[in-house]
Amino acid sequence: MDEVARVVVGAIGLAVEPRGRRWAHMSLCVLDAVFSINADYDRHTAPTCHRYATWAGLTPYPPATDEQPLSDFVTRVRTAGVEAFSAEVLLNRQRTRAHRGAPRKTEAALGYAEILTSHGVNTLADADALLADTDRLVRVERHLAGIPGHGSGARLAYLWMLVGADDRIKPDRMILRWLQGVLHRPVTASEATRLVKEAATQVGCTPWELDHAIWNAQRKA
């Protein structure tokens, strides 16, 4: 049995479900992607996003009456300053890595937003258009990869998942741990991406749906 087939067998017991509700604003997608890395999602990441939504007066999920331009998020963070925004608005002072001098995740989120807006991505519709333009996407991803905390690229892949790319996965520690358990060997981020995508085709779901099912199973383990 090849490794993709073993992943498919391992997925039999997973609760694979259609994508549920998603964020209604690019700013929340950026915050979620950046603050989810090496953090407990339910205890830290989701509350951080909701605190920003409440502070900014946003309806976090569709249908939202007005989508906040990502440039507005940039202005708000710049006006407050990274330290104050982290401590007083987000109530989350996590850093991009476990080092005292590492940049705050707020700074990384601001960097993401600045790059995206400089490339004309202010709304979810703009992000969809970017994902459909391969050449432009390559340029934007090259710049986003330069923001501290890029690591193996899981954060960037997750951002595109959040804005609606069902063909992406987030090869984070949850996914890697599950695959290691199924295959009985360490798995790299690039291997994880390939394996989950190929397995999803055989399971009959999107890579996003299989990724999320694995993530949910690991979260509850």
What is the tens place of the pLDDT at every residue in 2-29? 999 999 999 999 999 998 889 999 999 9
The predicted-structure confidence for 113-122, as pLDDT tens digits, reads as follows: 999 999 999 9
Please answer whether residues 23 and 162 qualify as being in contact, where contact means their C-beta atoms are separated by less than 8 angstroms.
Answer: yes
pLDDT confidence of residue 64: 78
The span from the CA of 116 to the CA of 122, in Å, is 7
Provide CB contacts within 8 A for 126, sequence distance 6+: 26, 120
The predicted-structure confidence for 54-109, as pLDDT tens digits, reads as follows: 999 999 999 877 899 999 999 999 999 999 999 999 999 999 998 888 999 999 99
The answer to whether the Cα torsion of 75, 41, 104, 102 is positive or negative is negative
Provide CB contacts within 8 A for 7, sequence distance 6+: 179, 182, 183, 195, 196, 198, 199
Please answer whether residues 177 and 219 qualify as being in contact, where contact means their C-beta atoms are separated by less than 8 angstroms.
Answer: no
Q: For the chain, what percent of residues have pLDDT higher than 90?
A: 89
Residue 1 clears pLDDT 80, i.e. is over it: no
Q: Which residue has the tokens 């360490």?
A: 186
DSSP state at residue 95: B
pLDDT confidence of residue 19: 87
The span from the CA of 192 to the CA of 6, in Å, is 13
Nearest to 23 by CA among 46, 43, 57, 39: 46
One-letter amino acid for residue 221 of the chain: A
Nearest to 155 by CA among 166, 141, 139, 167: 141
pLDDT confidence of residue 221: 76
- Average pLDDT in the chain: 95
Provide CB contacts within 8 A for 79, sequence distance 6+: none
One-letter amino acid for residue 117 of the chain: T
One-letter amino acid for residue 182 of the chain: V
pLDDT confidence of residue 21: 86
One-letter amino acid for residue 87 of the chain: A
Nearest to 86 by CA among 141, 44, 57, 119: 44
The predicted-structure confidence for 172-218, as pLDDT tens digits, reads as follows: 999 999 999 999 999 999 999 999 999 999 999 999 999 999 999 99
